[in-house]
Amino acid sequence: MAVRLDDMDRKILSQLQEDASQSLDEIARKVGSSKTPVWNRIRKMKELGVIGRQTVLLDPDSLGLEACFFVLIRTSEHEASWQQAFLKTLRERPEVLEAHRLAGDIDYILKVRVKNARAYDQFYQALISEVKIYNVTALLSMEEIKSTTLLPL
């Protein structure tokens, strides 16, 4: 269920999405308010779950993780036990940045970040050794055109 936000909430969220390391004073100045009301709004949005954990964004290329694969998975298994094992496996693999269950011919899509094709193959071999998968198609991203964590407000 969506939380009701007013314009001030949206301004604060925009500032936090852009740079959560800003001081409360900076955010208040940029949104045209004072520190205490901004802090109260941030605290309330945290309590409501609008604002989750705060983290930093790392540059994968700087860390040697230059290969991004989108992995399409089809399965012939649809039992709850298989799904639990599959999801547990995905959650335990740090290479899996995102995993989505899909409607249509493909059951799951994964975003996997690794050093190179050899590292992807190691990931793939580990994955298929842990859970039964009918078909896997890996697509190597040649160029990242857009990647953002900023949600439209």
pLDDT value for 13? 98
Contact 71, 101 (CB under 8 A): no
Q: Which CATH architecture has domain 61-141?
A: 2-Layer Sandwich (3.30)
Q: Quick one: pLDDT band at residue 14, thresholds 50, 70, 90?
A: very high
pTM of the model: 0.88
- Determine the topology of domain 8-48 in CATH: Arc Repressor Mutant, subunit A (1.10.10)
Per-residue pLDDT tens digits for 67-98: 999 999 999 988 999 999 999 999 999 999 99
- Contact between 131 and 89 under an 8 Å Cβ cutoff? The reply is yes
| CATH 1.10.10.10 domain range(s) in the chain | 8-48
Average of pLDDT values for 39-61? Answer: 96
